[in-house]
Amino acid sequence: IEGKINGLVGESACGKSTLSLSIVKLLPSNGRIADGRILFSGEDLIRKSEDDMREIRGAQISMIFQDPTSSLNPVFRIGSQIGEAIELHRFKDEPKELTKKVVREEVTTILQLLRVPDAERVASHYPHEYSGGMRQRAMIAMAMSCRPKLLIADEPTTNLDVTIQAQVNELILDMVKKLGTTVLLITHDLGIVAEMCDRVAIMYAGKVVECADTSTIFKRSKHPYTEALLSSIPRVDIKHKRLEGIPGRVPSLVDPPPGCRFHPRCRYARAKICTQDPPTVEVEEGHRVACWRYTDVWESD
Residues 211-230 that bind ligand SF4 (CB under 6 A): 224
User: Looking at residue 189, what DSSP letter applies?
Assistant: -
Contact criterion met (CB below 8 Å) for 209 and 203: yes
- Strands 207-213, 199-204: pairing is antiparallel
| Residue 204 sits in the site that holds ligand SF4 (CB under 6 A) | no
Which of 40, 292, 297, 301 is close enough to bind ligand SF4 by CB under 6 A?
A: 292
Stretch (H or E) spanning 63 = strand 61-64
User: Looking at residue 57, what DSSP letter applies?
Assistant: B
- Taking the least distance from each CB to ligand SF4, the nearer of 114 and 274 is 274
The site string for ligand SF4 over 138-167 (x = CB under 6 A, - otherwise) reads ------------------------------
- Taking the least distance from each CB to ligand SF4, the nearer of 45 and 205 is 205
Nearest CA to 287 among 227, 203, 200? 200
Which of 53, 173, 269, 283 is close enough to bind ligand SF4 by CB under 6 A?
A: 269
Stretch (H or E) spanning 122 = helix 119-122
| Residue 274 sits in the site that holds ligand SF4 (CB under 6 A) | yes
Minimum CB distance to ligand SF4, residue 192 (Å): 24
Which of 268, 282, 286, 301 is close enough to bind ligand SF4 by CB under 6 A?
A: 268
Nearest CA to 110 among 73, 75, 83? 83
Q: How many positions of this chain bind ligand SF4 (CB under 6 A)?
A: 12
Which of 89, 207, 222, 293 is close enough to bind ligand SF4 by CB under 6 A?
A: 293
Show Cβ contacts of residue 141 under 8 Å, excluding neighbours closer than 6 positions. 82, 107, 110, 111, 114, 116
Q: Which residues pair with 284 in a beta bridge?
A: 287
Residues that bind ligand SF4 (CB under 6 A): 224, 260, 262-263, 266, 268-269, 274, 278, 291-293
